Structure 1
Amino acid sequence: MRTTSLLWILLIFPSAVSAQFTPDTTDYLWPTNASPYLSGTFGETRSRHFHAALDIKTWGRRGYDVYATRDGQLHRIAIGPGGYGKAIYLKHDDGSYSVYAHLLSFEKNIQQLADSLRFRDYSNKIDIVVDSLDIQINRGDRIAYSGATGIGPPHLHFELRTPSEKPFNPLLTNLSIPDNIPPRFSGLAIEPLSPTSRIEGRNQIYTRRPTRDSTFHDFGTVVTSGRIGLAVDIYDRANRVHNAYAVYDLKLMRDEELLFHSRVDSFSYDDTGQMFLDRIYPLLQRTGKAYQRLYVADGNTLPFYRAGSQKRGINLPEGLHELRIIAEDYNGNQSVAHVKIDVQPRTMAEHEYQTNGPGGPHGGNGTPRYPKTLTAAQDSWQWHKNWININSAADRSQPYTLISIDRNGRSVYPRKATPDPFIAIDESDLLTIHQPGYGRQGRTLHLYRMFPGQQGRAFGDGIRAYATFLPNTVYDTLSVSLTGHIHSADSVEINIQPDTQPLKGSFELTYILDEAQQQDTTLALYEYDKRKGRLNYVATRRGGPVLKAKGDKLGTYYLLPDTAAPEIHSPRILRRADGTWMGMVRAEDTRSGIDYRTTEFYINGVRGIAEFEPEDERILYYHPDFKPASSYIMRVVATDRVGNRVVKEFVLD
């Protein structure tokens, strides 16, 4: 296994110095008897964050022993239907932490403690710090059984944290896995980083697959001009398993010059959402492929990036340049990819796109230049920080006319027509796009500029909605539009663009109800997942004539009713892998989803904890005293998230 120097560890974990904690000098026990193999590694891409742990394989089964990896104190117990599910947190003598998640159940004494807390109000969700109880745990003690609670299939999530609660790669310690297999490159992506950048003649993201032979991968020659950023779709594997892992170390080289270097050792939970900046978000959103950037994007403050002469993107002189991309896993297995970048002269200097030429915005003689024409098909636009790119003649079949207006709403000047189909946007502009052909007056699309550290609003065009962006909503300056379509009184589509740009924090979407809609208590807001083709309920608040919801990504939202109560069916009695007897029913709600907080479950008149498992669409009855009987009367009360309620009774002999 790789040896990490003490100096480097102290640089990564400065807060750990005073606590006398360094990962490479700390000894851990492997935390389960399930297997020595991994289904996931530290720093992998998850839905909205970096993975903060090792996922240990349990071969699709539940009920393996989970052990304390070091002496410590029981610090925290958490139980819930999502996220980590059932989890235990231990605090060790040096102030560091170990976390064990997605558990089936806890060891007897810890389970009794959790039960005493939950049965006070039959809560199926708790998260409690128990330091004051001073419960000591010894290395090697069984503390739980592996399971599949929360998110994901059966596995053990094993996480290590510094004394300041920053997760770090457990392979920095004495722990290791059998692995002599090098990483494999499966794709190269190149991004334009300025309005004048071109990749194979176009100002848009370009991808290519490699030819490969063992550890050598070749992406051929790519013609570019202007500043660009490279990224790779890459995965790693280990012995005797087929899971794809994240790569530990990436370098970009030109001859012997190091252009970029990243290594994933640790990060802060405050920064884990910057996974969207470390990856190419538009490709991740559209294809699910996590192309890792070989440059540091604007707004990215992650601690992964070690060195490199061109960390902010490549801006090479004209000519042919051969680059090497070196990928390495934690065991030191290495693969190399080659790509040649043929840099051509720029067709136009970048500053020419930012003004309307000599003499000010109207040109030398004060005559406005012809405006730019764009399309209604926003889904096909390439949205960037300061420009929008229209990439095909078909996209321009329904013309827009673009004009610029200042912050007070006064028209300034038409945008300059350019040889290439894109619009450059000045930092201070609010933009208006007018499209003829929609009724007598045509249609206007406003682009609102959102700035980091400032609050702003985007108002709906033709729709009674607006979005409020808070000071921490955007990573960088962003142009936002809000449009919509009223399909019917109870079906409204709201589009907030660009859906190809990630958000740092949430925004608040407000919809103003008309008089008839105010009487409909079943209306709520839903986010549409375009890649998976499904609606996701967004927690909706009603205040007088408005509905409000917090969105964490741009895209399409819907105002829709939910008039159907949950469906409860298929009752049975089962015995869990840890020996516990439980009741179970299937629980489905296709629109807003089950409200687990209001669910009640009784068997033979005795109320138990209703444990909702959303991924398996089932509700479990848990009571520590429940035992098999000759017959059972089940009673389940379930409510969805807009208040539709069902009460079901079943008799089982």
Structure 2
Amino acid sequence: MLLRLRWTLLLSPLLFSFLTASAQEPADSPDTLYPQDYFRLPLNLPVALSGTFGELRSNHFHTGLDFKTQQTTGHPVYAVADGYISRLAESAWGYGKAVYIDHPNGFTTVYGHLERFMPAAAAEMKRHQYEQETFSADLAFPPGKLPVKKGDIIAWSGNSGSSGGPHLHFEIRDTRSEEPINPLLFGFPVPDHVRPLIGGLFIYPLTDSSAVNGSGFRAGFSVTRTGESRYVIKPAQTITVRGRIGFGIIATDQLDGAANRNGNYAIELKRNGQTIYYSETDRLNFAHNRAMNSHIDYAAYLLDGRRIQKSHVSPGNPLTIYKRLSNNGSAWFSGTGTHEMEYIVSDVAGNRSILTFTLTSTPAGPVKKARPENPVAVFSYDRPNVYAAPGLRLSMEENTLYEDLAFTYSAKPAPEGAASLLHQVHDKNVPAHKSFDIAIKTNPGFTDTAKALIVNDRRQAFATTWENGWAKASVREFGDFYVSLDTIAPVIRPVNISRGKNMAGNSAIVLRISDDLSGVRSYRGTIDGKWVLMEHDGKTATLKHVFDERTPAKGGSAKHTFRLLVTDMKNNTAEYEAAFTR
């Protein structure tokens, strides 16, 4: 698969020392950095967005705009400017069917979750798929192959890939770096007179001697709007702090005519009028995007789904959205005094909301703290880390963690039928930026390595290799792991085909496939012994072959045989066969 993302080096923690409250805003404004009248809208529909740039999603920030398509598919999608199609992609997940257009001004536009491509592009994709006998494809084209003009129809909107409903996903990227840029900075006519919404305040003690209201635990506070743009804590109360303190906020944005809760553009935190934190979601980097899990209070999200945006930045967080920081966005409080705090949340259109609250600093005193963790090792975020126990080995590269970690580990009996102990590898509430390797020792006498694999306590399976009785896998989160067996074949469920059926009135063969544990590795459909394209939709577990000139309708007089072979990651197979007429 063609991989065009250029992975860049992670932001060095030393750079944070330069991002102080005294730093100045860039001299260039969005109007001078990004052309304002160059791109047209990609749809000829009333503008309504269900998602915006920088929105907090699972394990990532959203990197574009989601245009609503009136809950239907099949709307023409237009090239927003002159250029050429540089890339076509098709996948069961992600953007599904996607078009990439390079423009002469140094930007690339991306159109995702499409239903179908324009005829010339569709022909290129289908030719490649039949030549390579594959559905998933990622094709690159030179400038003269598929040129387009502003306003040309390049595709039709759809619901392909990991889409949650019909819409068009639209991005603008820097062609050279492939970094996605906030499309709202390019002057698209998106009506927005709605101020951001603030839903809660959270205050964090960051050291053993820090406290909020005498406690070493995070404290949360409800807020209420008191005017058009002002928020305060409700009920009104005195909040005491001491030591190093961090802050977090629940905030979203809305646009005219839509109830969707979207991402924020800018968040600023001030202490006594001085900025200690300022973030701006103007552009992102795909290599850093998973650090959204460090940007939020990840443990709170796993607990109840709240996405609290922290204003204290972990030293291993590589995101470049943090434009001004003092003490990495935290504040020190000592002695006795009052401190006026202010959160300012803004959108691209200039609407803003402000939360004000007062803190009272107090002298040192007893702190109610959590029970000690009893770590078995201490990991550094900026160095490689290894750990070994009788039944477990772990190794991770530098910058896998966002901050230093007091690592915990234990082992206990696994569920019935497992081929190893269950290994509790730290705590799932701590996010990891990169994958790391674990190896688990199997039970004495175990030999069925062909069907065994590492799984976690949610029965999520990981690609597993073997070495001298050790099962090895790469994982991207902490949690509980053990070795299990997958001996169950995938399941094939025909939707509209059956043995002996006349398919002359059908435009496609449709089936659903699933697997119990390891997941589907491959599928192969044939008609009369020849490979046919099976379009895979991952979210509905559907395979579809659209009849074409290879199998024309002849009123039911032509006889054919359809076969489908599905194989999972442990080589368990299922087969379906049906003779039909057309």
Structure 1 and Structure 2 fold alike (TM over 0.5): yes
CA distance in 1, matches of 2:554, 2:331: 71
- The secondary structure found in structure 2 opposite 1:62 is coil
Match of 2:377 in 1: 448
Match of 1:192 in 2: 205
* CA displacement, residues 389-411 of structure 1 (integer Å, 9 cap, x when unaligned): 963xxxxxxxxxxxxxxxxxxxx
* CA displacement, residues 548-597 of structure 1 (integer Å, 9 cap, x when unaligned): 11111112223222221111113227xxxxxx9432111122322222xx
The Cα shift of 1:310 comes to 5.2
- The secondary structure found in structure 2 opposite 1:63 is coil
Note the 1:117-136 alignment, pairs <5 A: 117-131=128-142, 134-136=145-147
**Structure 2 residue corresponding to 1:158, chosen from 170, 182, 186:** 170
| AA of the residue aligned to 2:533 | I
For the pair 1:583 / 2:512, whether they are aligned, the reply is no
| AA of the residue aligned to 2:229 | T
The Cα shift of 1:100 comes to 1.0
Match of 2:565 in 1: 637
For the pair 1:649 / 2:577, whether they are aligned, the reply is yes
- The secondary structure found in structure 1 opposite 2:450 is coil
CA distance in 2, matches of 1:477, 1:310: 17
Match of 2:403 in 1: 476
Note closer, same or farther for the CA distance 1:132–1:623 as it changes in structure 2 (3 Å cut). Answer: farther
State the TM-score, normalizing by the size of structure 1: 0.76
Match of 2:360 in 1: 342
**Structure 2 residue corresponding to 1:569, chosen from 482, 493, 497:** 493
CA distance in 2, matches of 1:630, 1:472: 63
Partners of 2:440 and 2:482 within 8 A in 1:
no
CA distance in 2, matches of 1:630, 1:526: 50
CA distance in 2, matches of 1:9, 1:81: 43
Note the 1:409-558 alignment, pairs <5 A: 421-422=371-372, 433=374, 447-460=376-389, 464-487=391-414, 488=416, 490=418, 492-528=421-457, 534-558=458-482
Partners of 2:205 and 2:246 within 8 A in 1:
yes
Match of 2:7 in 1: none
| AA of the residue aligned to 1:161 | R
| AA of the residue aligned to 1:121 | Q
Note closer, same or farther for the CA distance 1:630–1:497 as it changes in structure 2 (3 Å cut). Answer: farther
| AA of the residue aligned to 1:546 | W
Match of 1:98 in 2: 109
* CA displacement, residues 388-435 of structure 1 (integer Å, 9 cap, x when unaligned): x963xxxxxxxxxxxxxxxxxxxxxxxxxxxxx447xxxxxxxxx5xx
CA distance in 1, matches of 2:361, 2:160: 52
70-79 or 125-134: which moved more?
125-134
* CA displacement, residues 135-187 of structure 1 (integer Å, 9 cap, x when unaligned): 21111111112222221222211010113211110011021311211111112
**Structure 2 residue corresponding to 1:38, chosen from 49, 54, 74:** 49
72-81 or 248-257: which moved more?
248-257
| AA of the residue aligned to 1:260 | Y
Partners of 2:512 and 2:543 within 8 A in 1:
yes
- The secondary structure found in structure 1 opposite 2:126 is helix
- The secondary structure found in structure 1 opposite 2:216 is coil
Partners of 2:85 and 2:143 within 8 A in 1:
no
For the pair 1:608 / 2:532, whether they are aligned, the reply is yes
Partners of 2:424 and 2:479 within 8 A in 1:
yes
**Structure 1 residue corresponding to 2:542, chosen from 618, 622, 643:** 618
553-562 or 190-199: which moved more?
553-562
The Cα shift of 1:81 comes to 1.7
CA distance in 1, matches of 2:516, 2:222: 39
The Cα shift of 1:257 comes to 2.5
Match of 2:305 in 1: 288
CA distance in 1, matches of 2:394, 2:576: 40
Note closer, same or farther for the CA distance 1:473–1:302 as it changes in structure 2 (3 Å cut). Answer: closer
| AA of the residue aligned to 2:304 | T
| AA of the residue aligned to 2:173 | R
Match of 2:253 in 1: 236
- The secondary structure found in structure 2 opposite 1:110 is helix
Partners of 2:439 and 2:472 within 8 A in 1:
yes
Note closer, same or farther for the CA distance 1:474–1:629 as it changes in structure 2 (3 Å cut). Answer: farther
The Cα shift of 1:451 comes to 2.3
| AA of the residue aligned to 1:199 | V
CA distance in 2, matches of 1:591, 1:471: 31
For the pair 1:107 / 2:118, whether they are aligned, the reply is yes
The Cα shift of 1:498 comes to 2.9
* CA displacement, residues 161-215 of structure 1 (integer Å, 9 cap, x when unaligned): 1132111100110213112111111121222211111122221222222133453
* CA displacement, residues 420-459 of structure 1 (integer Å, 9 cap, x when unaligned): x447xxxxxxxxx5xxxxxxxxxxxx62222244332222
Match of 1:427 in 2: none
* CA displacement, residues 341-393 of structure 1 (integer Å, 9 cap, x when unaligned): 222212279xxxxxxxxxxxxxxxxxxxxxxxxxxxxxxxxxxxxxxx963xx
Note closer, same or farther for the CA distance 1:168–1:618 as it changes in structure 2 (3 Å cut). Answer: same
The Cα shift of 1:29 comes to 1.1
Note closer, same or farther for the CA distance 1:193–1:12 as it changes in structure 2 (3 Å cut). Answer: farther
- The secondary structure found in structure 1 opposite 2:292 is helix
CA distance in 2, matches of 1:180, 1:96: 28
Partners of 2:316 and 2:381 within 8 A in 1:
no
CA distance in 2, matches of 1:505, 1:203: 29
| AA of the residue aligned to 1:296 | V
The Cα shift of 1:252 comes to 1.6
Q: Mind listing any 5+ residue stretches in structure 1 that lack a counterpart?
A: 1-6, 14-20, 350-388, 392-420, 424-432, 434-445, 529-533, 574-579
Note closer, same or farther for the CA distance 1:200–1:652 as it changes in structure 2 (3 Å cut). Answer: farther
Note closer, same or farther for the CA distance 1:515–1:422 as it changes in structure 2 (3 Å cut). Answer: closer
For the pair 1:313 / 2:326, whether they are aligned, the reply is no
CA distance in 2, matches of 1:71, 1:517: 62
* CA displacement, residues 254-275 of structure 1 (integer Å, 9 cap, x when unaligned): 3432232221101222222221
CA distance in 2, matches of 1:448, 1:246: 38
Note closer, same or farther for the CA distance 1:33–1:127 as it changes in structure 2 (3 Å cut). Answer: same
The Cα shift of 1:26 comes to 5.2
Match of 1:373 in 2: none
| AA of the residue aligned to 2:244 | R
CA distance in 2, matches of 1:602, 1:513: 40
Partners of 2:402 and 2:433 within 8 A in 1:
yes
Note the 1:147-186 alignment, pairs <5 A: 147-153=158-164, 154-163=166-175, 164-186=177-199
Partners of 1:447 and 1:479 within 8 A in 2:
yes
Partners of 2:340 and 2:356 within 8 A in 1:
yes
Task: State the superposition RMSD in angstroms.
Answer: 2.7
CA distance in 2, matches of 1:500, 1:330: 33
State the TM-score, normalizing by the size of structure 2: 0.85
Partners of 1:95 and 1:162 within 8 A in 2:
yes
Q: Mind listing any 5+ residue stretches in structure 2 that lack a counterpart?
A: 1-24, 498-505
CA distance in 2, matches of 1:143, 1:605: 34
Identity of aligned residues (%): 25
Note closer, same or farther for the CA distance 1:145–1:266 as it changes in structure 2 (3 Å cut). Answer: same
Partners of 1:602 and 1:621 within 8 A in 2:
no
